[in-house]
Amino acid sequence: MNESVDIEAVRAEALRKLGRNIVNFSKIEAVFKYLLTVSQLDGSGKTISEQLRRNQTRLRKQTLGKLVQEFNKNILGDASQSEPTPDFSGAGISLSFNVTYNNPDFLKLQKRTLASIVAERNKLIHQDLAFIDTSSVEDYHNLITLLDEQNPRLLAQLEDLRRIIESLREGLKAFEDLSKSPDFLQSIQSNQSNQSNA
């Protein structure tokens, strides 16, 4: 009887920690979907709304691995690489958001870290759980150890992503504040009259 009580307590702890880590993987995935949804938008107010909906629909069922690949390709970048100049020939809005690093080695490390998060998630779901002996206290203890070692890496990744979102929000807020200022509007009007006089 004591052994069944022990295994039930250990199983409950393992399942709680498994749930915690799966929730953290899900949060990471949700942040990637959010950032990819808003990272590159252009058009009018109406077309941007449609573009946001299309992006959300397209990303809704993407795997974590595909999201990380797209994030690495479209958002992470080397600061030394020049950005193409967008075409501003028509009226509209263009928003492009990316994260650049001055150190190419650090950029590679960031991309490897993201790839390892994907690999850890896949290994946990497709291998570690598949081969657990649910009647073995030792297997549950091993799973608990794995989950406890994994969780700080997930929390660190969530913190990195939180800082990226915070930076994006601060940039958008600064632009909103600037665009409402009388000096900004006066500067735009002055530039327009200078261009028409040229």
In a domain, 26, yes or no: yes
In a domain, 156, yes or no: yes
Residue 3 has pLDDT above 80, yes or no: no
In a domain, 196, yes or no: no
In a domain, 194, yes or no: no
Strand pairing category for 99-101 and 76-78: parallel
Specify which of 9-18, 46-55, 74-83, 181-190 reaches the highest per-range mean pLDDT.
9-18
Residue 112 has pLDDT above 50, yes or no: yes
Condensed to tens digits (0 to 9), the pLDDT of residues 131-144 reads 999 999 999 999 99
Work out the pLDDT band at 167, boundaries 50, 70, 90.
very high
Interval 103-109 mean pLDDT: 90
Q: What share of the chain is helix, strand, coil (3-state, %, to 5)?
A: 75, 5, 20
State the Cα–Cα distance between residues 22 and 27, nearest whole angstrom: 9
Q: Where are the beta strands (DSSP E) in 66-122?
A: 76-78, 93-96, 99-101
In a domain, 182, yes or no: no
In a domain, 65, yes or no: yes
Identity of residue 35: L
In a domain, 122, yes or no: yes
pTM (2 d.p.): 0.84
In a domain, 50, yes or no: yes
* Total count of domains within the chain: 1
Note the pLDDT of residue 1: 45
**Domain span at 33:** 2-168
Interval 21-50 mean pLDDT: 92
Note the pLDDT of residue 81: 61
Interval 155-184 mean pLDDT: 90
State the Cα–Cα distance between residues 167 and 171, nearest whole angstrom: 6
State the Cα–Cα distance between residues 50 and 108, nearest whole angstrom: 34
Interval 180-186 mean pLDDT: 81
Backbone angles phi, psi at 77, to 5 degrees: -155, 165
Mean pLDDT over the full length of the chain: 88
